[in-house]
């Protein structure tokens, strides 16, 4: 009976663990910029995006790099959904059991036209 309870507990934990977020065709078109504010001076701000991967109960099932990749993919998906093509990242929060990242979505395709 003890082994059955252990097996059920393990299966429950595995069922609770989610997969890492994968990119979509739209999000793969989003450029990611880090610490280069001059690159977005002519861009239209679309909004703030947040990405988060991992949980206190399943972080040990995922490598840190996979959680960072998943959080970044979430942000790229949100940027594309807002009509943006550029994601400007801010320094990520320190993490132990999950990864949370903040950034701003921008549309850099539209350059302002000069006054005539």
Of residues 98 and 105, more confidently modeled: 105
Beta bridge partners of 44: 107
List domains and CATH numbers for the chain: 2-107 (3.30.110.70)
**13 within 8 A of 60, measured Cβ to Cβ:** no
- Tell me the whole-structure pTM to 2 decimals: 0.70
Q: Does the pLDDT at position 8 exceed 90? A: no
Give the torsion sign (CA, 7, 11, 17, 21): positive
Of residues 83 and 99, more confidently modeled: 83
Give the pLDDT of residue 82. Answer: 96
What SS3 state is found at 39?
helix
CA 92 to CA 71: how far, in whole Å?
10
Of residues 8 and 17, more confidently modeled: 8
Give the pLDDT of residue 9. Answer: 59
DSSP 1: -
What are the tokens at 99? Answer: 């990864």
Tens digit of each residue's pLDDT (9 = 90 or more) over 41-86: 999 999 999 998 876 556 556 666 778 888 899 999 999 999 999 9
10 pLDDT tier (thresholds 50, 70, 90):
low
Give the pLDDT of residue 62. Answer: 62
């Amino acid at each position: 009976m003890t082994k059955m309870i252990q097996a059920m507990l393990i299966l429950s934990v595995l069922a609770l663990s989610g997969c890492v977020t994968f990119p979509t065709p739209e999000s793969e078109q989003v450029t990611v910029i880090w610490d280069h504010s001059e690159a977005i001076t002519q861009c239209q701000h679309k909004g703030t995006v947040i990405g988060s991967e991992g949980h206190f109960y399943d972080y040990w099932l995922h490598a840190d790099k996979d959680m960072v990749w998943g959080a970044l993919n979430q942000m790229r998906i949100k940027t594309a959904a807002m009509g943006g093509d550029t994601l400007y990242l801010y320094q990520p929060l320190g993490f132990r059991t999950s990864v949370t990242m903040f950034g701003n979505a921008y549309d850099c395709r539209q350059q302002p036209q000069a006054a005539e």
